[in-house]
Structure 1
Amino acid sequence: MRGIEEEPSHLSLVVCIDKLTKVYKTGSKLALDKLSLNLHENQVVSFLGHNGAGKTTTMSILTGLFPPTSGSATIYGHDIRTDMERIRQNLGMCPQHNVLFDKLSVEEHLWFYSRLKGMAEEDIRKEMDKMIVDLELSKKRHSLVQTLSGGMKRKLSVAIAFVGGSRAVILDEPTAGVDPYARRAIWDLILKYKQGRTILLSTHNMDEADLLGDRIAIISHGKLKCCGSPLFLKSTYGDGYKLTLDVGFRQGSQQQPPSSVAPSSSLSPSSVVLSSSVAPSSSLSPSSVDPSSVDPSSSSSSSVASSSYVAPSSLSPCSQARVSQFIGQFVASCVLVSDSNTELSYVLPSEAVKKGCFERLFQALEQSLDSLALTSFGVMDTTLEEVFLKVSEEDQSLENSDADMKGSPGGSSVGKSSVGSAGLGLPQEGSGPSVESENPEVERSNLMSSSTMSQSQSSLKSSSSIGSVRGDEGGLHEDFYGDYCPLFDSGQEPDSASLR
């Protein structure tokens, strides 16, 4: 299956999720749809997905909060359906929202949860001291939780998940709502304590998932879409490396020389910037300065600015064709993706790295910046956010195609019957004899409006995905999609009773 990397054979299998399915009583929608995933020792698995994808449901089943509808999972060989008491002895959990006692101190929380797991008193003291130091909570050791800031409470919740000898740790958005400094402390704690443990981490922060995750698992609508190392997913779903070149001067660009500044304006020495690509002023010919633009009564500072300006005509303009030909000598399959007045962007295939093409290309670019009229260049790998969005788009297009197939009888092409008759105001089955439309133009207009509505729904789902990537709680239109879209998909009228 595309997007599923081969599992590491040298690591011990700790958590085995086998065809896990969950259907809540409130509806027929599958929260989990035969989800299968394996977690190994000494690894952090970043669990990604849009809001409502099934991440929290999976974690709740693994911790025994909800029973599965079908399927099962084992943790250290113990079945979650029958051996939950034994599993909890080695299981640590940081829920999405803090579960703390306002009248207990930081130290008392760590002691309480350690004793709850049956840890000896002398071992608790050693582990508690170490954990408080690692989280930089020494000054708040004896402070009540109700006096702590939100970031400190979150760090305490993460610490509770690791105490008591927890070997399987589940972290549900551990850094949600914390400042960058506290987030870094939590990251350091996870990386430090992952040895000998198996950690399942859900997050909406793509940088966090990329940094902490040894493997990335992306789910959508309760199904596993892809799983593998960050490098594997980027090479599978990414287009390659993006090379960006900053252009010094383009033919026909509207650049105003500094000498056009009004003589009355005062220029400080710091406002005069000489480009490294411009020759020293001693080598400038008199023709490079327009005499008519120099006011004899102007100040000396403006004269300096005028004399340091090199007219565009004395520079060789940057040619996109020349640059493309130059790059093509080293990477033949490069593709131009952006051509603006200030920069050029190319996509370089990942295969070129193995051939050593990048090294030769970058060395040649360094030596040819001036001749190509470029000022600088940079290269960037495919980001995990781009991978996430691409997986979401593929899943959305697959859902749309499935919906079209279901809407058309016998899988026929989309026609009158594939469009909801209630939405078009056409007679439904059993309501009377079918009457052909007297005005085909009106019918065609109705079909176009239905298509437009479908496109708007698709754009809203895309916005919801982006919101979840940026950490937006619930996404931009989660409520809309959670309640209204099933009504549109089924062609029902959204009355107040069905919305409730």
Structure 2
Amino acid sequence: MLVMIGSVFIYGLLLWYLDNVWPYQYGIPKHPLYFLQQDNEKPTKLARRKKRHFRQPAFWNGFVSDSLWSLLGQNRCQKSYWYSSTDYDSGSDMEAVDDTSPDVFEAPPHNVETTISLSHVTKMFRGTNKKAVDNLSLKIYDGQITVLLGHNGAGKTTTMNMITGLFPPTEGRVKIKGYNILTQTKKARENFGLCPQHNVLFDEMTVEEHLYFFYSLKSSPEIAWKEHIDEILSNLELSDKRRTLAKGLSGGMKRKLSLANSMIGGSKILILDEPTAGMDPQARRAVWTLLQELRREKTILLTTHYMEEADALGDRIAFVAGGKLQCCGSPIFLKKKFGTGYRMRIAKAHPCDLEALTQRITGTVVSSHMTSDIGHEVVYNLGFPPASDVIPLLRSLEQDKDSLGIASLGISVTTMEDVFIRVGELADMSLDNSSTASSMNNGDMISVLWKKVEKHCLFLADDAYPRFQRVRGRLPLLLQQTAALFAKRANATRRQYFLPILTILIPIALFIVYALLDIKDAQISDSSSSRLVYDLGPFAGSTVGFLDTVEPVVRPLTTLYERAMAAQKVNVKENVGDPNEFLLDIARKSLSEYEGKYLVGGSVEGVTKLVAWYNGEPLHLGAMSLNLAHTAALRYVTEEDDAVVSVTNWPLPGKLGYQLFAGMYDQTSRILCSVFVPTALAFLSSSFVLFPTHERVTKAKLLQLMAGVPGVLFWGTTFLWDFLIFAICSTAIMVPLLAINPNGIFLSSAGLAGATYFLLLLYGWAAIPFSYLFSYVKKTPSAGYALLTTINVITGVMLSIVISVVFFLGKLKVFGIDEEALAKSMWALRLVPGFSVTWGFANIHEIGGDLRRCSQIPEAMLKSYCPMAAVFNIEVCCQPCPDGHGHCYVPRSAFSFSEFGAGREMALLFIVGIFLFALLAFFESNVYGIWYSIKSCLGRNGRDIGTMQRKDTDVAKERAIVEELIRTGRADDEALVAVNLKRCFKTLQFQSMIGYCPQFDAQIDKLTGRETLEMFALIRGVPRQHLSNVVNYMISLADLEQHADKPTEAY
């Protein structure tokens, strides 16, 4: 118990130390000897690397995009207006403000306190060369809402994670109210409230319990918690959900709860990562109102993809692109710097005199120009003209709209969305033109880049989707879909680094341990290589003996007895009197001495009676004591003082003893098999629940089915791939098993190895669909894997061990066990795949052991022992010979359907597999839809049938249209109806034509963006020769060029 208590203390201390020095996923790693350091301000090794970035003056040159400087025509040597040139190690917190400031950065208001300071922060993740955040410097002020904007992957969330200390920056410094987040993490995190991008909630806790939990963690005793919780619930309109479990909340409600968790406890600093994502407009505006009220007394940093939200809330807005800070300022400031001014959109009538219209606009407003002419709409950029120019222009266009060909017109002013788009376009285009920028003046560069931007936009609008003819015919499409689904599994499998551990290494290791233990057990049972000499040599020097005699006439015999004991180094006590009283007296004084030292003794009673005494604890001691008495008697009779009776215990010759008395070994081997085989196979078979669970939870499976993949094909390809993996792993298991070949069992017959491998494959046939059914149970793959592994281990190990023990006791005829009833119950147990494969494996092992054992017993010895076969447990070796003469061993087949073969288990595994596939098909089928269809058919009457048989002219017309579309190749040959543009129609018959974007990302996280698009393109019938063009077009359209070849889990 003391050792266990000490282990708890030691492991707890180790866990605490490793959590501080080597946090698993999130956290700031501390110095390995941090508990010995007195100076907590000393930077860690991570923070001291590459100080050259920190020792430079804080000029804008270095962390503002070079191209943006060129575009805006600014002097790159101007110093920051809010970053000082103080050295990193100076520890200066308040930085001077320069009077000169770049045009894209607005000077901060006076007399405001800096709450969060980021200085030259860079972050590179392990295994990548790309900087997620690149030399970013930014200050966030008290009493303001600072909004961080940027496209997906710009580095916003990474920046927030470094501010909150979820992981450390690779370079740079982050300070919260003067505390360095690297070295003073606990102080820096005080009064922090974080609302992460994804909800971090406990499903089994209510809304109120969440708030009280986070309130308790923040330790705010000065705040009355009940009133505080009531206030927050009221402000976020969650009062009626107070006692609702988190798992019962909608997406928007969960987001509100995450926001409430960050606000509880009087947090002075709020870090909000997309706090209003998923909320309806009314809830979003309520949150806006709340945040505007809170900013007076708090510092708020938030990210959002709603430009209206950024415009309404942001006191300062910082744009990040490519991990770099591009600009920062108030919404009005940024609109002036990046806004294009007023935009006039004109819907053209027919005919339209575009040239006259353009001359009218450019002649009235000199700064105007046409930006696009697409289809029936033309757009003009008016710049920022005075009202005296705009009003006459509008009157003129209104008066002459018929002659100019104007259907309608509208005018709008720059929004934050325009600023966002323009900053992003300038940052992206600048990366491709950095070399050109150095050879052009600022004005030319701006003109060239904006022409490229407009040309790029026009290209996306005018360039048609790549034209191709879909794969026609059901069979070619099915073959292409099959190839796409196999490619999906192959790409996902090769990125699951943990899969070889679960499916190969652990099972192989367990089977190797089983084989080695099986060999050891046989060696223990086979004692033919050892012999035992009956003397007291093993106890020499520590043994005490005694002698007693009452007849002087036999004194010579007593002397010889004493000398025989002394020859074996026994300390002899003579004339002890009554041996019983003597031994009892020794036991009363010291029981340990009685049991450990007094091993042998002798007494002579009369002339003819010699008694040998012995301790009953050590084995064989009775024979050794008797041997001493025989030696004394021999010397007395022969009068030879050196005469010795030597007795040696030899087992039966060769390994015959093991062969004859191996019943106990068979049971021990079956127990070993019951422990290791189902455990090893549980790790392997349970791994097949991971991928189906992930596809179901993320709705990736739903998207594939909606794209046109039949359910049978989806599960068929999934099973074929998993069964291939299982077959490879089974082969890997058989290699070391046959190489070790415990006791020569698996190679004792040519058919045993094949039967074992076939049994494993049949287990895969049944266990894989069993895993698929469990993919419906849990919401996370890891939870499903843990549950299924536990079930497989329990059903395989426990059932096998219990039944093995019961069968063994039944053979011993104890406890009144009914073997016939037990054999019948075995049929029900064989329906459990884990038990069935274990029992079949043990039976094959027993067949191999019987073959090896019986073949080594000489025929002559069988004749002697077979009449007593039950005594020696060799009934299997004493079967009637085929010729009817004598007894011999008749080899049994591993595929036999007898109780000793594995045929029953193999057959039941195959049948169970079929049943589980049928059950899976039942769950996948639209059961309710089938029922309602049957009910509808039964409810029809003859009048309905007659109506269906009549054709009208509309049907004939529709058929003609469809036939024409099929003839020209614009529709599949199985099309039934055509749906025109702007025409409502049911879509259930057109799964392959539907594109569905669910609320949450339905991505297979181990596939890259390119692989995902290729899969869906092939599923929808895009020919392979057009696959690359279509995928590249979609990647360009979605602006995924930089991320197309990354796994989607990194998006």
Distance in structure 2 (CA, Å) of the matches to 1:462 and 1:390:
18
Deviation at 1:153, TM superposition (A): 0.8
Moved more, 338-347 or 201-210: 338-347
Which of 362, 366, 374 is the matching residue for 1:332?
366
State the structure with more CA Rg: 2
1:85 is aligned to 2:164: no
Aligned to 2:266: 165
When residues 28 and 125 of structure 1 are mapped into structure 2, their CA distance, relative to the original with a 3 A threshold, is same
Q: Would the aligned equivalents of 2:121 and 2:135 in 1 still touch at CA under 8 Å?
A: yes
Instruction: Pick 1 or 2: higher relative contact order, CA cutoff 8 A, min separation 6.
Output: 1
Corresponding residue of 1:206: 307
For the residues of structure 2 that align with 1:103 and 1:482, how far apart are their CA atoms?
35
Q: Closer, same or farther in 2 for the Cα pair 1:464/1:202, shift >3 Å?
A: farther
Structure 1 residues 338 and 146: alpha-carbon distance in aligned structure 2, compared to 1, 3 A threshold: closer
Residue 1040 (structure 2) pairs with residue 480 (structure 1): no
RMSD of aligned residue pairs (Cα, Å): 3.3
Query: Distance between the aligned counterparts of 2:206 and 2:189, measured in 1?
Result: 24
Q: Please, which of 394, 408, 413 is the counterpart of residue 381 of structure 1?
A: 413
The reply on whether 1:127 has 2:691 as its aligned counterpart is no
* Aligned partner letter, 2:414: T
Amino acid at match of 2:413: D
Cα offsets for 1:49-80 (capped at 9, x unmatched): 23322211111111111122221122222222
Q: Give the deviation of 1:151 after TM superposition.
A: 1.3
More divergent stretch after superposition (207-216 vs 222-231): 207-216
1:390 aligned residue (422, 432, 436): 422
Deviation, 1:17, is 1.0
Residues 1:196 and 2:297 aligned together: yes
TM superposition shift of 1:327: 3.8
Deviations 1:235-273 (A, max 9, x none): 3233221012345x54xx3xxxxxxxxxxxxxxxxxxxx
Q: CA contact under 8 A between 1:35 and 1:223: conserved in structure 2?
A: yes
What is residue 379 of structure 2 aligned with on the other side?
345
Which secondary structure does the structure 1 equivalent of 2:115 belong to?
strand
Distance 1:28 1:340 in 2: 41
Deviation at 1:321, TM superposition (A): 5.1
User: Structure 1 residues 14-23 or 368-377, which shifts more?
Assistant: 368-377
Does structure 2 retain, via aligned residues, the 8 Å contact 1:245–1:374?
A: yes
Of 56-65 and 355-364, more deviation after overlay is shown by 355-364
* 1:220-231 matches, cutoff 5 A: 220-231=321-332
Report 1:104-143 matches (<5 A): 104-120=205-221, 122-143=223-244
* Whole-Å separation in 1 of the counterparts to 2:135 and 2:1030: 30
Q: Where does residue 47 of structure 1 map in the other structure?
A: 148
C-alpha displacement at 1:136, in angstroms? Answer: 1.2
* More off after superposition, 100-109 vs 228-237: 228-237
CA distance in 2, matches of 1:139, 1:378: 45
* Aligned mates of 2:342, 2:1045 — CA distance in 1: 34
Structure 1 or 2: more strand by fraction: 1
Q: 1:243 — aligned with what?
A: 344
Aligned-partner residue type, residue 1046 of structure 2:
G
2: distance between equivalents of 1:73 and 1:356? 50
Instruction: State the secondary structure of the residue aligned to 1:482.
Output: coil
Q: Taking structure 1 as reference, are residues 401 and 346 closer, same or farther at Cα in structure 2, changes over 3 Å only?
A: closer
**Secondary structure of 1:52's aligned partner:** coil
User: Which has the larger displacement, 335-344 or 145-154?
Assistant: 335-344
Task: Give the distance between the partners of 2:416 and 2:255, measured in 1 at CA.
Answer: 25
Please tell me whether the aligned partners of residues 47 and 216 of structure 1 are also in contact (alpha carbons under 8 angstroms): yes
- The question of whether the paired residues in 1 share the 8 Å contact of 2:252 and 2:277 is answered with no
Give the alignment of 1:56-95 within 5 angstroms.
Answer: 56-95=157-196
Distance 1:39 1:459 in 2: 40
TM-score, length-normalised on structure 2? 0.31
Change (3 A) 1:10 1:143: same
Which moves more between the two structures, 71-80 or 172-181?
A: 172-181
Say which SS state the counterpart of residue 167 (structure 2) adopts.
coil
Cα pair distance change 1:194/1:212, threshold 3 Å: same
CA shift for structure 1 position 387: 2.9
Task: Please state which structure has a larger fraction of its residues in helix.
Answer: 2
Deviations 1:76-107 (A, max 9, x none): 22222233222322211001111112222211
Tell me whether 1:19 sits opposite 2:120 in the alignment.
yes
> Does the 8 Å contact 1:243/1:345 carry over to 2?
yes
- Percent identical among aligned pairs is 43
Matched-pair contact (CA < 8 Å) for 2:1035–2:1044: no
**Secondary structure, counterpart of 2:224 in structure 1:** helix
Cα deviation code 1:331-351 (max 9, x no counterpart):
22221334578554321112x
Q: For 1:119 and 1:105, how far apart are their aligned partners in 2?
A: 21
**1: distance between equivalents of 2:405 and 2:1043?**
51
The 5 Å alignment of 1:443-458 reads none
Q: Any stretches of 5+ residues in structure 1 without a counterpart? A: 254-317, 406-454, 466-475, 485-500
Counterparts of 1:340 and 1:403, CA distance in 2: 32
2:431 matches 1:399: yes
Per the TM alignment, residue 403 of structure 1 is displaced from its structure 2 partner at its CA by 8.6
Give the whole-Å Cα distance in 1 for the aligned partners of 2:144 and 2:286: 19
Residues in 2 aligned to 1:458 and 1:233: alpha-carbon distance in whole angstroms: 34
The Cα offsets for residues 109-132 of structure 1, whole Å up to 9 and x where unpaired, read as 222212322212653223221211
